[in-house]
Each structure stands twice: as structure tokens, then as C-alpha cells.
A and B are shown apart, each in its own frame.
Chain A
Amino acid sequence: MLEAKNLKVKRNLTALIDFSRIINSSIDLDFILNNVLLTCLGKFLATRGLIALKEKNKIVLKSSKGITTELLQEFPELEATRDCIDDPKLNSFMHIANLKVVEKISSSDDCIGLVCLGEKLNKSEYTEDDVEFLGTILNISATAVQNSMVINELRNVNRQLDSRVQRLSSLFELSKEFGSFAESYRVVKLLVFSILGQFLVQKYAIILFENDVPDILDSKFDNEKLLQLIKRYELHKTPDSIKKDFLKVNHNELLELGVELIVPMQLQNKTRGIILLGSRAGNRDFFNSDIEYIYSVGNLAIISLENNRLFLEALEKQKMEEDLLIARDIQRNLLPQTLPEYDKYDIAALNVSSKQVGGDYYDVIPIVDEKFYIAIADVSGKGVPASLMMANIQAFLQVICQQGMKIDEATAMINDLVTGNTSEGRFITFFWGYINNKTNTLTYVNAGHNPPYILRGDKVIKLTKGGIILGVVKTFTPYIFEEVELKKDDVILLYTDGVSEALNLEFQEYSEERLERIAKSLVKNSAGEILNGIKEDVQIFTQGNTQSDDITMIVIKVR
């Protein structure tokens, strides 16, 4: 009898030592818990059991055998106190789960977990000895469990640290790359790649706002719908990121499209673009730290995109300036380099082109000894297009003046030519005429140009006869010409609106009245002196302001 009991104790001891060796040889928590549970079930011939461990001051279920998942879900929330196994919630759970005995796992008086076991296969109750033996098993297990828990915790911390280091190095790398890119499509690509890789996302869109108007740089959503919704929900005003919960309640259509997160890209506190992301693999949520990361990457990218835009803008501006130089060159070459000289007529002309280069044109074309043409025109618009139209007009004039056509018919023909050759909305105000040396007359047609003056002493004659401006419609009402007899000391003054509409700093126009007044006061001088006098007066008037339009004048004084 005693021998039999001794044998039993010996067997128990051997088993305990074996058990101790096995669980202490591992740091794998799952392996240890599995072993503890199986040992308990085997020792007491129980068919069910569970182990729960302390985690952040709660007792959390870790391992179980023979209990259905539905039942396991009922496992209560327990505080990790020293007498955790006396909790009534645990008792009632044990009752419904048909668990008969519970014992805690302690480490230096601290409860680090508990074990529950079900009824024995032979239906017998747990004896005092059984409970004591269970206590012994758990005491042996405690150190191994504690150690592997610490190691697990360390592993987690390490992983979090790894993850943070990884994100930081990504950010660092991206900031370097974004800084060196010139092309925005590569910036967008990189932005996309780094976010997709970091968060395992497959659907995305990158939107830029140009004056609050959305522009899709890259997208895997339905673009048409996306644009519609972005406009409807005024996402350019989004100051903060928008998460799934908010989308569900407020912008459900975006959620239906597959959008689960919207993060603004901001520059100087203004939202300049947005990043839209679809779901993460494995149905994971975007956490705040994730959103912060996306926000950082997005802001790095937007700086790069903005620099890019400014660079292109500067290029464009430079190109425009080159254009203007070309326009100025064309214009300069079209204007007469020298003016013909006549005994009876003193001719002077002036063209001061503005920074923008307008479309002013004038010409003096000698035909035969007794006749020469004068022309002045203002082409609408500025820059190269206006200059090219000027070139057209000049070519027409050079040809037509040689043909000996009647001036009214010739004007109709020029109008038809110009109308047929201009893009919509362009027009030319045009005045031309010829002076006959022998008869001392001026024959002119005015096609919508500021009426030139003939200053005769105190009198002013305005040359208004003609017709519609060139280039609007083909001629249907014939142009009218007029022949004016010239007298000695008459001054003919032709000008463009760059003179009469020159602005001073108060945005007042120089005006035709002032032009008339100054011209009258200068009438006794030579053509060149009159021209300079007017020019100086305009300069005095506009002092401090930049010249916004070309200034062109022709003065002819009859000797």
C-alpha cells in the first residue's frame, strides 16, 4: 500500500520534472500554453480547459481546448487583480461553459493569468489533492509563462520600433527624391508608390486644385464620378483628413466608389490637393499615425509639385518675353525706315512701342512724283499675332498702291482680304489717303480709325468719311472717300488711340481735347517740332505710369 503510494508520488514527480524541462526550454508562448493545458487535461482526465493571461491589466483569453467558439466569445472582461479568480463574472462564465475548477498563475504574488478546467471524464469531483497538484503545475509554469510574455512584449515593441524606423527612412528618402525631380508625373508616381507600398492599398487618386478647380493627376477610381463628387462636396475646402466613418455618414457616394480615406495636401495652410485611398488589404483601418504619415508624404509632394508649376510658369513667361521680342522685331521692320522728302510737304512720323507691343502701323508710300500715300492703322490685340496681321496689311497696301485703283474700292477689297484672313474677333482701325502734289489735295478713306485732324490756323477739320472697320464683315456698304483741298501751313495730324487714351497715374485718359489743344498751340512749328511737342506733352501727362499701348503719329505740314 505504502509502496504503491510512493510509486505514484514518484511518477508524479518524474512527470513534473519532465514538464518543467519542456516548458522551460522554450520561449514560444503558444507552445508553453499548449503544453500547460494539455498536461492539465491529461493529468486530470478533463475534456475541456482554457488559459487566460494578463495583458494591459486585463485578463485575456489565450488558449483553449474543447470549448466552442460561441462559448469562448462569452468570456468576460476581467480585471487583473490579485484575486481575479473570485470574480462573479468568471464564476457565471464557468457555470455556462461547464468548467469546474479555476486556479491562478502567480508570479511573486502577482496574478499573471488563470487556468480553468472542465469536469473529469469519469464525472468525479476535483479533490483537494487535485487542486493542490494543479497549483503545483501552475507554479512550475509561472516563470516560463512570465518569461515568454516579456519576450513577446519585447518583440512587439521591437516591431513597432522597426515600423517607425521604416516610416522615417521612407520619409527621408522621399524628401530627397522629391527635391531632385523636375517632372510632376514622376513626383506623383513616387507619391503613389510609397503610399501603396506602405499601406497595401490598390485604389487611389491624386487630385490637385488649381484655383479650387480639381485636376486628376492619377486615379484608379471612376474619374467622371470622382470629379463630380469632389466638386459637389467642395473637397478643396477640406482642412483635415476625412475618415471612413465620416464618409459613411456624409459622403456615402464616395465610399460607394471605393474611397475610404481622404488626406489633404497643404501648402501654407491652404489645401492644394487631396489624396484619396481605397481599402487596405486585410480590411485594416487607417490609424491616426498612418494618416499622419500620408499627410507628411503628401505635403512633401505638394511642395515639389508647386515648385514644378512655378518653374513652368517662369519658362512660359520667358517664352512670352521672347515672343514679344520677335513681335517688336517684326513691327520695327514693317515701319518705314526713312520718309520720302517733298518740297511742298514736311513729313514727320513717330512710333513708340509699348512693353506689350501693340499692333500700330503707319506707312508713307511714294508712287510717282506727284502722288504719295499715307496710312495709319491699329490692329486689335498685341504681340506676335497682331504683328503678323500688320504684316498682312502692309503687303496688301504695297501691292494695291501700285495698281491705281480707286481708293474707296481698294478699301473694300482690303476689308474683304482682311476679313477672309483673320481669326474671329480681330479687327483693324484703318485710315489711308493720298496727297496729290499738283492739285494739292488729300483724298482719304477712314475705316473706323480715330479721325485725323487738319489744323488750319484756329480751325480743326476732322477726317471722318469712310466706313466700317476692317476685318469684321465683308464689305456690303461701299466705303465713302473724300477729297480735301490743302492750304499752305495746313497741318495734318494722324494718330492712334495710344495717344488719346494714354493713362496717367489716376487712370485718366490724355483725351482728344487735350491733343487738339496742344496741337493747335504748336501749329506754327515744323512737322518734327509739332510731333515732339505732342510727344512731350503726353509724357508729362502720363508721368510715372508705364506706357500700356503703342503710340504712333504722323504729322504733315504743307509748305
Chain B
Amino acid sequence: MDKRIEFKGGIGVSHAVADAPVRRGAGKRFRLDKPELLAPAGSLEKLKIAVHYGADAVYIGGQKYGLRSNADNFSIEEMREGVEFASRYGAKVFVATNIYAHQEDLPGLADYLRELEGAGIAAIIAADPAVIEVAQRVAPGLEVHLSTQQSAMNWQAVKFWKEEGLPRVVLARETSMEEIVEIKSKVDIELEAFIHGAMCSSVSGRCVLSNHFTDRDSNRGGCCQSCRWKYDLHQEGRSVMGPGDHPFTMGSKDLSMIRHIPDLIEAGVDSFKIEGRMKSVHYVASVVNAYRQAIDAYMADPDGYELRQEWIDEIGKAANRPLSTGFFYTVPGAAEHIYEPEEKPAPYDFAAVVTGYDEASGMAVVQQRSPFKPGMEVEFFGPGGRSFRQRLGDLFDEQGNRLDAARHPLQTIRIRTERPVVQWDLMRKKIL
């Protein structure tokens, strides 16, 4: 348990224990630990952005044993670099090794887990006991967190995994707030819950639609999102769809708990997990930015806490998907599913990442990610809700030549910013 204490200390650095808020209700007042904000990082750059914007920990995929075989997964060398970067901010790096292994996946597992341990990875996220047991045996320096793929949704299942030596369980997405409170009261273990992002509408792990439709194994990262396809529901020999009716789908609206941060903290959720290793840099930055501010605001003053519209707006700038609260308050119904066209474009597009700033000249160096030109209105934003809008002045290339537009991906551009910026801040442009 030593590790756990050290870990809690790690994430609480910025807030002294004496200032920790208390949990209300039932005449008892418990001290609340500050929850961890855990962000997805589909690439080294996303890892850096997530940490820069305030994630206490990030989870990534390696080149084996993870569930996002399409993601831009990390080599061991990139993991080392990610761990080194994160450690400068006091942040941890977890690796998802959450497949359900087949026989062919078992050889090599021990070596891989040892490599993760050697690279400084703090924890793996695993569902299959085959992975869990090997990790405990060969890589004792890795914490093992139970993946949501194991679908632990009751306190006795959580207790079982605690007795197996796991310091943390990622709860099934079906677990309600009330159930979390009960689990927390009955089992002394860290609880992690998804709080934002796309969701399986099935019980995680209990869907093999991809296997059936495309011979791609969803429990080994081959999911082709067949739940989001359109289906025609038939009964008594004919389609139930009338003129103008939407087709049937299993697709769920995304989860968003930004409006319910106090409930999550008071329920005792130790780690707030954002989904989305496949999501963009812009998405990761915006979502982490919003939740970081909400959590910090609540912890600083629980009684005076107020939800701020700008946090909700911040999330909305990077993604425009319909949102819901999943199973936290009630079993999702018709309003929590997506029957209509799913996604509208986000109102802002990621235009550049700041790579440097010269205070004396007020000039920023940025790397282009989508085209921009002088006169365009852009927004610079950084951690803590720091942001400002400005109209772009002259653009210069590295040699100091004036440009009529920044046309080339990854091109280095110098521009004057109206306020100071720092490396890893982002620049976005309004497109809608």
C-alpha cells in the first residue's frame, strides 16, 4: 500500500492536505482527496499537450496488447520520452494492455511488461487475468489497474480484485453514482470512472459485432464500431420504420460529466478518466482544460463552487457531439441515444501549436496544423482557461520572409501575439 500513499501525495502536491475540502452528508464530514484527472494520449504530442493542460496522468497504447490497434501507438522509446516529459510535471503514464488475449498473444507478454516497467510506466490497465497475473509476477514495479473491459460494477467484484492485489479498479460504465458511493464505502480501493467521451453501448467486452461482420476481433483492438451502423428493425415479418423514421442504432451519445463534478468528487471517485486515444490534439487540450479548471475550483472552495459556462463552451469548441450522463443517474433511454446524423463539425479548428515565445519582441513561434493567413481572427489558449482572441498580423517564415499565408503542415511560422504565450499553447480558428 506504500505505493498508493505516495501516489496520492503525488497528485495532491498543489493543494496542501490541510486545505482539503470535506465530504458532506449524513452528519459525517470526511476529508476529500483531490481526484486524479486522467487523459488519453494517442501520440507523444498528445501526451505532452494533455500534461501541459493539466492532466495528472495519461494513458497510452503500446504497440501490442492494447485495444486501439488503429491508434498511433507508442514504441518503448517514445514511452521513455513520454514518461520523462510527464515526470517534469509530476504526472504519470499508464499503458492500456486491455485485450482479452488469445493463445498466440501469451508468448512475449512477460518481456513486453518488463519493458514497460523499465520505461518507467506507472501502471498498466488490464482486463484479462492472463495479463494481470504475468504483470504481478514479472513486473512488480507496475501497478495493475483493472480495465473497464472486465465490467466490475458491484462492490463484491471490486473486493475480489482488491484481494487479487490490484490497487485500482476502473468501474464498468454501467455503474451508477449511488452504486459508486456504496462500493467506495465497502471497499478501500482506488476507483476510476470514465467521465467524458465516447462509450460502448454494450457492456464493455461483451460485444463481438466486429468479429461477426468483419472478422476483426473487438476484444483485441479490432472494433469497427458496428454499434454505430444503421439497422432496420423488423418485427412480425416487416420493418417497423415508417416514412421519415430514423433507422435503429445501438450508438450512444458521448458521456460528459462536466456539470456534475461535485457529485463525482463527493462519491469518492479517485480518478476521472477522459476517453479518446483516437481524438485530436485540440480535443484533448480543450477537454482536459475544462475538467482541470472545474476540479480545481471545487477543491479550492467546495461550498462556493459554481459551474462555469466557459468550461462547457471550451469542450464545445473542439467537438460538437451530443452529450449525456450515461448510467450515473438513470438507465439511459431514448434521449441518450443517437438516431440522427451523429456529428456536426466543431466550430473551431486547430490551426497551430506554439513552440516558443520571445518576450522582448512579443513574437511567438508556432507550428502550422491547418492553414491560416493575416487578418484571420484566431484564439490562443493555454492551461487554466487562459485565452485571448486576436486578428493575425504579418506572418514570417524561419528566414524572416513575409508570407501571404501559412499553407504547409508543420511549417514554422513567426507571428506577433497580443499577449504572452508559452510552448504547447494552441492557436485555433473559428470555422463556423
Q: Do A and B bind each other?
A: no
